[in-house]
Amino acid sequence: MSTARSERGKSTAGRRTTGKNGAVRLNWRVRLRRDKTLLLMTVPAVVLLLIFNYAPLFGLITAFQYYDPLVGVRDSEWAGLAQFQQLFHDPLFWGALKNTLWLSLVQLVLFFPVPIALALLLNTVLSERLRNFIQSVVYLPHFFSWVLAITIFQQMLGGAGILNHFLRQNDMAPWDITTNPHTFALLVTSQAIWKEAGWGIIVFLAALAAINTDLYEAAAVDGAGRWRRMWHITLPGLRGVIVLMLVLRLGNALTVGFEQFLIQREAVGHESADVLDTFSFYYGIATGNYSFGAAAGLFKSVISLLLIWGANKLAHAFGEDGLYRR
Amino acid sequence: MRTELNRRSFVTAAVSVAGAAVMTPLLAACGGGGSKHKTGANSAEGVKSALPAFVASTSVAADIPSVTGADGAMTDPAFLTYPASPVATVTGVPGKGGSYTAVTPLWGTVPPAGNSFYTAMNKALGITMEMKPADGNNYATIIPTMTAAKKLPDWIQLPTWWNPNFNVGELAASQFADLTPHLAGDNIKKYPNLAAIPTGAWQAGIWGDKLYGIPSFSTGFSIAGTTFYRRDLLEPKGITADQVKTLDDLMALGKELTDEKAGTWAFDDVWTYLFPFFGVPNKWKLTDGKLVHKYETPELLEALDWHYKLATAGYLHPDAIAGNNADANTRFYAGKTLIQGGGTGVWNLADHQSGTAATPGFRRGSFDFLTAKAGATPSLFMGASTSLMSYLNAKLKPEQIEELLAVANYLAAPYGSAEYTMVNFGVEGTHYTRVDGVPTANDEGKKDVQAQTYPFLATASSVISNPGADQVTKDIAAFQAANVKYLYKPLFWNMNISMPQNIATIDTAQAVEDTIKDCYHGKKKVSDVQAAISTWKSGGGDRLKQWMTDNVLSKYGTGQ
Amino acid sequence: MSHSPTTVREGAAQPGPTAPAPAPRPARTGRPRARAGRAPWEEPPTLIGQGAKGITLAGVIAAVAVPLWIIGLTSISTPGAVNRAGGLVIWPDGITFDAYQQMLGDGTVRTALMVSFAITVVGTLVSMIVSVMAAYGLSRSESFAHRPILTLLIVTMFVSGGLIPTFLVVTGLGGYDQWWSLILPSAVSVFNILVLRSFYSTTSADLIDAARLDGAGDWRILWSVVLPTSRAVTAVIALFYAVGYWNSFFNVMLYMPTSAEKWPLQYVLLTYVNRGNGLPGSVNSGFGAANSQTAPLTLQMAVVVLTLVPLLMVYPFMQKHFRTGVLTGAIKG
């Protein structure tokens, strides 16, 4: 974030009475005294993160225990890897893992191209007013809660929803969408598209705006039609963003909408709706089997980190930056 | 920003994480106290010394009195009338002005906080009780979080079917008040209404040889459910319950009654309440002194085979096969299914009202206990004597426990008493009026008087009473009377076995149960279930049996 | 990276920690095409192309607008209109605001609305104070220890203890049934801090340096230089936080499931509309009535609308700044 900044920092370091540009090399005591206000300002955020993000990391110890909340971490019996053994012998866990991966894959294939296509389409709308209007509309669902989004889906497509009401009135068989376990992957993906695809176009629109228009003009002069221009200029221009977004998605593959599934689990049954996160909740907290749930959570975290790392490797192989540089 | 997360900063991150080690005491702070609870079951002597004495109440005589069966089973007394002037069984106000909170599950509509009924109850009880009804459908997830947070209320309802989920054995040992000194033996005579609750129900509240639980709705006719049919639709076709004696008779109805074109299927899900009639034990049976799990019995395979045929023959409603159980009653009310399995709790006044709203003349009937072979004597295992048990918090002082037990005594007043009327109907004029002598809720009463609040803390033993729908009461009483002689006590009945977590998970056998479900929906073959069972056995089932043999059977016997 | 619902808020976490890196150009300037219509070198659109485009875009808009229309209309329809439609109402056919009157008169929804507002306002304030301070505190590239602190922040975006350990910490601190458990565990969004920080260290940088030369202290600079010059981004970040608080329900489910009087609107929506339980105070059909009467459709839809209205009220003022909010975090300096 900062090469340019630090240069600027140096050039303006003249505000200090010493006038030395080697501000960074000052004795740490001096710097501490000088920056104590700044440090003080970060204290609340740091404290909150230490308590609510770092302390739970130590709670992962429970994954290696038979944790009993009435006894506490210190006095709970050690389990070694027994929880993991049980986990790996649990068909429900494998079911949840399978669902997680399957739902991720479906979302990757069906969801991912939508914002790109939408951005390309929107980019061809000439009227700025119209474009702004469309943008405001498609961004909106992003701000809805999952409770709300799913309620809307239920009202539209559910058993008593508007679609089935229409079908029944016209003597057609009602179409079971919201409670059908077999098409659940499609249902949640369309929910995700409805809610998030619009918001997803922001980054692609920005990347489109950054493409130099001279390139288009030159290509047009050379006789390239709109499709050729899209293929040779637009898409390469988006490549960086697309790869980055892909990396982010892959890294997040094990985190498919927790709330979304939690809310709909009752309707379609745990067999198709349980993903790793809901598994950890229902078989951890809800059965009082905390260690078991923590083990499932830890398993997920480790695999996720590996995925992020792997996705970055992939990005580097494509010659892109990914999340962090090589 | 992408420059931040290079390898070097991961190292610094690791360092700063180490700095967070100061946070560990915080986690340890969750601990403290809490004894390791013992697993196993109650000993016979322990139970004997913890059980309260039984003193029958001399209250209103039932219109249809109780019938006694074998093995201590008995039907619930039934009432067709309501006493014109309810008699008080408690003198004065039970409470001494204490303030308490109570959490109970509630399936349905939560009454508004601080409503007029709560206020009236507080006045009648002489305490300030904050009622916190919690969503019954999520109760199984709510209680564990509450337990982990150590925020259990003063009085809590823990339905017994969730005993393994809540690990009640351990909770009792460390979190709940030991009621033995207050209630054991003759001590209970201070609370005559509690003393009138049958002994078997109290037994279900004993953990580690001490008494903790206060039962609600105890019954001598404890079955999980039964196979219902649309009596109003089947009788005109000449089909009556006494013609259906065997499972083959039942299967034959499938062909006769299913009419796909008309959108009518003979059956909704029936497995849960039907499989015992094939001779499958509740969970365990004893053969030559050795434990046999129900998964190991050939009868289970027969039962599966029958159900698989039922589903694949097309007699089962497609929505049931799709796993949509929420609308099962809607289908039944609308006559789209004619035979359904259901819990006994379904059969009541509300059901009658919903049913007649959908089809005038609606009448629910139940088949009698069935047999696999013609001419055999049917039999069915009993469930625990109560499925609703409330507990007091261990933090309460002895005098507070006495105060709440006095309140429980008020709540457990028998049918038709002044206290019963107050708890179930509220204040006359404010919450109900008498219509043809029967207390009938007015709008205020319908809003505020929720039967799933106070009665979930303590009640007298169950009665059958459906004011305004006497036919329902008579039907239920007749069904119970006809079948009570066929009930038997299963192995480990009322024994409150408490398992370590890893054994409990095996006991749940979710994977096998899921496969069984797919099988009776015709989606998986019986051989698939056999495969799932053998996986289960090698993955822990045998360990479970060993544990049960070592820790329950050889130490505490069979409970019979 | 496990998704911990207690700490990750939607809105704040999109579209990910490192958005792409387009040139940091201000929105919609410097591109002749944006205003001047079609560039001379572009071929005129085909009729079919235009038509397909129009239909697609209309479809996209309808997908959002039609459900909202139906729900909004149903919430203000008369019972007669709902009966005639057999459910949700598509065309106006008798309008009444009874549902809203009844709902705002009813304890549960009114309380929930106030709870939601309170949580959102207090939560957003807490989050903004913490985030703005942290962002400013970390915005000077040469300041003491800013790098380790920044790393400490960023690591939390990738590593988390997960649901259960977080739950154990919050309850271990006595957070069960406490208001703060709905706010503090999710008060800090590192992504939002990074967005603010990067804004402060670029856009406001020169002004900050000038103020320092004048001898102003850091508190003063933050208050009278940084905040006034970064109104747009502050507003957007505040919106992200506010939406997060407004929309959260899982913390409620986890930490205060039995305290109905403390439930915010989203949880009420989940319980009474999504799960179809009867609204508190509505008529129940007596003991054993597992399937008690659900709230009338108009009431349900009115609850839906109520959860939407506050958002729709601020949305128009905010939406032009989204770009800034989402993309600033991505600008590489």
| Closest CB to C198 among B1, B141, B455 | B1
* Cα maximum dimension of chain C: 76
Provide the residue type at B196 as one letter: A
Query: CB–CB of B353 and C285 under 8 A?
Result: yes
pLDDT greater than 60 at residue B139: yes
Query: CB–CB of C137 and A13 under 8 A?
Result: no
CA angle C104, C107, C110 (to 5 degrees): 45
- Three-state DSSP at B105 gives strand
- Chain A residues in contact with C213 by the CB 8 A cut-off are 15
Q: What is the pLDDT of residue C325?
A: 60
Whole-angstrom distance, CA of residue B207 vs CA of residue B38: 10
**Which residue of chain B is at minimal alpha-carbon distance from A94?**
B511
Q: What is the pLDDT of residue C79?
A: 78
The A residues from 10 to 69 touching B (CB cutoff 8 Å) are 50-51, 54-55, 57-59, 61, 66, 68-69
**Which residue of chain C is at minimal alpha-carbon distance from A162?**
C88
Closest of A297, A289, A172 to residue B140, by C-alpha: A289
- Chain A residues in contact with B24 by the CB 8 A cut-off are 55, 58
Closest of A252, A233, A149 to residue A199, by C-alpha: A149
H helices of chain C, in order, are 32-36, 47-75, 79-85, 98-105, 107-137, 146-158, 163-172, 180-183, 190-202, 205-213, 218-221, 227-229, 231-247, 250-255, 265-269, 297-318, 322-328
Closest of B234, B233, B464 to residue B349, by C-alpha: B464
Compute the nearest-CA separation of A207 from chain C (Å): 5
Query: CB–CB of B109 and C152 under 8 A?
Result: no
- Chain A residues in contact with C209 by the CB 8 A cut-off are 12, 15
| Closest CB to B13 among C155, C278, C332 | C155
Query: CB–CB of A58 and B4 under 8 A?
Result: no
A286 vs B: CB within 8 A: yes
CB atoms within 10 A of CB A61: 19
- Three-state DSSP at C70 gives helix
Report the share of chain B in percent with pLDDT over 90: 49
Average pLDDT over every residue of B270-294 = 93
Provide the residue type at C145 as one letter: A
C-alpha torsion sign, points B1, B6, B12, B17 = positive
CA angle A231, A237, A242 (to 5 degrees): 95
Compute the nearest-CA separation of A8 from chain C (Å): 9
Give the residue, A317 or B413, on which the prediction is more confident: B413
**Which residue of chain A is at minimal alpha-carbon distance from C15?**
A200
Query: CB–CB of B28 and A66 under 8 A?
Result: no
pLDDT greater than 60 at residue B2: no
Q: What is the pLDDT of residue B12?
A: 35
Q: Encoding tokens for residue A145?
A: 């809660």
The C residues from 210 to 229 touching A (CB cutoff 8 Å) are 212-213, 217-219, 222
Q: What is the pLDDT of residue B106?
A: 83
Whole-angstrom distance, CA of residue B15 vs CA of residue B24: 16
Closest of C282, C250, C280 to residue C264, by C-alpha: C250
pLDDT band at B313, cuts 50/70/90?
Answer: very high
Compute the nearest-CA separation of B192 from chain A (Å): 35
DSSP code per residue over A188-244? HHHHHIIIIIHHHHHHHHHHHHTS-HHHHHHHHHTT--HHHHIIIIIHHHHHHHHHH
The C residues from 183 to 202 touching A (CB cutoff 8 Å) are 184-188, 190, 193, 198, 201-202
The B residues from 300 to 339 touching C (CB cutoff 8 Å) are 329
Closest of B359, B327, B331, B362 to residue B472, by C-alpha: B362
Instruction: Give the relative orientation of helices B418-425 and B398-411 as an angle to the nearest 10 degrees.
Output: 90
| Closest CB to B31 among A74, A282, A292 | A74
- Chain C residues in contact with A309 by the CB 8 A cut-off are none
Q: What is the pLDDT of residue C328?
A: 53
pLDDT greater than 70 at residue B4: no
pLDDT greater than 90 at residue B111: no
A1 vs B: CB within 8 A: yes
The C residues from 289 to 318 touching A (CB cutoff 8 Å) are 301, 304, 307-308, 311, 315-316
- Three-state DSSP at C240 gives helix
Compute the nearest-CA separation of B29 from chain C (Å): 6
**Which residue of chain A is at minimal alpha-carbon distance from B137?**
A266
- Chain A residues in contact with C191 by the CB 8 A cut-off are none
CA dist B305 to B258, B373, B522, B527, Å?
20, 15, 10, 10
**Which residue of chain C is at minimal alpha-carbon distance from B1?**
C332
Give residue-wise pLDDT tens across range C4-54.
333 333 333 333 333 333 433 344 433 444 444 666 777 777 788 888 888
| Whole-complex ipTM | 0.81
**Which residue of chain B is at minimal alpha-carbon distance from C145?**
B12
Q: Which residues pair with B392 in a beta bridge?
A: B155
**Whole-number average pLDDT of chain B:** 86
Compute the nearest-CA separation of C295 from chain A (Å): 14
Burial of B510 (0-12, 13-18, 19+ CB in 10 A): middle
| Closest CB to B6 among A69, A271, A325 | A325
Whole-angstrom distance, CA of residue C12 vs CA of residue A142: 11
In the 3-class helix/strand/coil scheme, how is B8-42 assigned residue by residue? HHHHHHHHHHHHHHHHHHHHHCCCCCCCCCCCECC
**Which residue of chain C is at minimal alpha-carbon distance from B17?**
C152
CB atoms within 10 A of CB A73: 23
Closest of B274, B351, B266 to residue B315, by C-alpha: B266
The A residues from 221 to 280 touching B (CB cutoff 8 Å) are 266, 269, 271
Q: Which of A46, A88, A287 to mutate to test the interface with B (most CBs of B within 10 A)?
A: A287
Query: pTM, whole model, 2 decimals?
Result: 0.78
A75 vs B: CB within 8 A: yes
Closest of B240, B254, B265 to residue B306, by C-alpha: B254
Length of chain A in residues, anyone? Answer: 326
Give residue-wise pLDDT tens across range B7-45.
333 333 333 333 333 333 333 333 333 344 567 788 888
Q: Starting at the earlier edge strand, list the strands of the sheet with B99-106.
A: B128-135, B99-106, B155-157, B388-392, B214-216
Q: What is the pLDDT of residue A155?
A: 83
Whole-angstrom distance, CA of residue A138 vs CA of residue A155: 20
Give residue-wise pLDDT tens across range B459-498.
999 899 888 889 999 999 999 999 999 999 998 888 888 8
- Chain B residues in contact with A73 by the CB 8 A cut-off are 27-28, 30-31
Give residue-wise pLDDT tens across range B496-548.
888 876 777 778 787 788 889 889 988 889 999 999 899 889 878 999 999 99
H helices of B416-525, in order, are 418-425, 443-448, 470-483, 501-508, 510-520
Residues of chain A with pLDDT under 70: 1-25, 160, 287, 321-326
Count how many pairs of residues, chain B against chain C, have C-beta atoms within 8 Å: 158
CA dist B456 to B59, B160, B418, B481, Å?
22, 12, 18, 26
**Which residue of chain B is at minimal alpha-carbon distance from C157?**
B5
**Which residue of chain B is at minimal alpha-carbon distance from C109?**
B112
pLDDT, block means (10 residues), chain C with 333 residues: 36 37 39 53 77 89 90 86 79 83 77 91 96 91 83 84 86 89 91 86 78 86 86 87 90 85 85 62 36 62 88 80 61 34
**Residue A195 in contact with residue A144, Cβ under 8 Å?**
yes
| Closest CB to C168 among B132, B148, B450 | B148
Count how many pairs of residues, chain A against chain B, have C-beta atoms within 8 Å: 120
Q: Encoding tokens for residue C284?
A: 């129940």
**Residue B347 in contact with residue B456, Cβ under 8 Å?**
no
**Residue A162 in contact with residue A155, Cβ under 8 Å?**
yes
H helices of chain A, in order, are 3-11, 28-34, 36-49, 55-59, 82-88, 91-111, 113-123, 128-139, 146-157, 162-169, 184-192, 198-209, 213-221, 226-229, 235-251, 258-268, 270-273, 276-280, 290-317
pLDDT band at B363, cuts 50/70/90?
Answer: very high
H helix and E strand count, chain B: 26, 19
Q: What is the pLDDT of residue B326?
A: 65
Whole-angstrom distance, CA of residue C281 vs CA of residue C263: 15
B4 vs C: CB within 8 A: yes
pLDDT greater than 90 at residue B128: yes
Whole-angstrom distance, CA of residue B265 vs CA of residue B273: 19
Chain A touching partners, 3 or more CB pairs below 8 A? B, C
**Which residue of chain C is at minimal alpha-carbon distance from A292?**
C164
